[in-house]
A and B are shown apart, each in its own frame.
Chain A
Amino acid sequence: MTRWLAVTAAHAGVTMQDRGRPGLLASGVSRGGAADPLALDEAAALLGQPVTEAIEMAAQGGRFHVDGGAAVVALTGAPMRAEIAGARLAWPGTHRLPEGATLSVGPATAGTYGYLALDGGIAAEPLLGARSAHLAAGIGGPLAAGDRLPLGEGRGAQAGLTLDADDRFSGGVLRLLPSAQTDAFPSEQIARLESETFTKDRRANRQGARLVPEGAGFAAEGGLSVTSEAIVPGDIQIVGGGGGADGQPFVLLAECQTTGGYPRIATVISADLPRVAQAPPGAAFRLRFVTLAEALAARRAARDHGALSRAIRPLVRDPADIPDLLGYRLIDGVTSGHDPDPAADPDQDQDPDPDPDPDPDDGGPT
Chain B
Amino acid sequence: MALRALFIALTEGEGRGMDAPRHPRLRRLGEEAVIVEFAPALTDAANRAALAFRAAVEAAAWDGVAETSVTLKSALVRFDPDRLPHAEIEARLSDLLAARDWQGAELPPGRTLWHIPAAFGGAAGPQLAEVADLVGAPEAALLEELAAHRLRVLTIGFAPGQPYLGRLPHRWDIPRQSGLTPRVPRGAVVTAIRQIVLFTVETQTGWRQIGLSAFEGFRPGAGRPFPLSVGDEVAFEPVTAEALARWQARAREGELAARSEAIA
Contact = CB atoms under 8 A, between A and B. Distances in A.
A228 B220 contact: no
Contact of A137 (B3, B29, B201): B201
A366 interface: no
Contacts of A234: 30
Contacts of B29: 179-180, 230-232, 235, 267
Interface string A233-270: 11100011110001000000000011111100001011
B185 to A, nearest CB: 12
A28 B68 contact: no
A350 interface: no
Given A128-B225, A231-B29, A28 B160 contact: yes
A316 interface: no
Given A177-B28, A229-B74, A231-B29, A137 B67 contact: no
A139 interface: yes
Interface residues of A, number: 56
A195 interface: no
A148 B218 CA distance: 26
A178 interface: yes
Contacts of A184: 16
A27 B78 CA distance: 14
Interface residues of B, number: 62
A23 B15 CA distance: 34
B139 to A, nearest CB: 23
A190 B16 CA distance: 14
Interface stretch (A12-20, A291-299, A328-336): A291-299
B86 interface: yes
Contact of A261 (B3, B161, B179, B206): B206
B50 to A, nearest CB: 11
Contact of B31 (A22, A240, A270): A270
A299 B32 CA distance: 10
Nearest to A179: B29
Contact of A183 (B14, B69, B86): B14
A230 B226 CA distance: 19
Contacts of A270: 30-31
Contact of A228 (B27, B164, B178): B164
Contacts of B158: 28, 228, 257-260
A26 B218 contact: no
A283 B31 CA distance: 25
Contact of A22 (B15, B67, B178, B220): B67
A221 interface: yes
A127 B220 contact: yes
B203 A136 contact: yes
Contacts of A258: 69, 157-159
A130 to B, nearest CB: 12
A2 interface: no
Contact of B30 (A190, A225, A232): A232
B10 interface: yes
A138 B160 contact: yes
Contact of B178 (A178, A182, A240, A295): A240
B261 interface: no
Given A138-B218, A259-B157, A291-B6, A23 B67 contact: yes
B28 to A, nearest CB: 7
B33 A27 contact: no
A300 B69 contact: no
Contact of A221 (B16, B37, B73, B156): B16
B155 to A, nearest CB: 7
Contacts of B72: 227-229, 259
Interface string B31-49: 1110101001110000000
B126 interface: no
Q: Which 7 A-B pairs have the closest CB atoms?
A: A259-B157, A183-B11, A26-B69, A232-B30, A25-B69, A258-B157, A257-B158
Given A229-B37, A296-B31, A296-B82, 15 more contacts: A25-B157, A26-B69, A26-B70, A28-B156, A128-B220, A139-B220, A178-B11, A183-B15, A183-B16, A229-B72, A230-B157, A261-B192, A290-B3, A291-B6, A295-B31
19 contacts: A23-B66, A25-B67, A25-B157, A26-B69, A128-B225, A138-B201, A182-B7, A225-B175, A227-B193, A233-B30, A257-B157, A257-B159, A259-B71, A259-B158, A260-B158, A261-B176, A262-B206, A291-B3, A292-B31
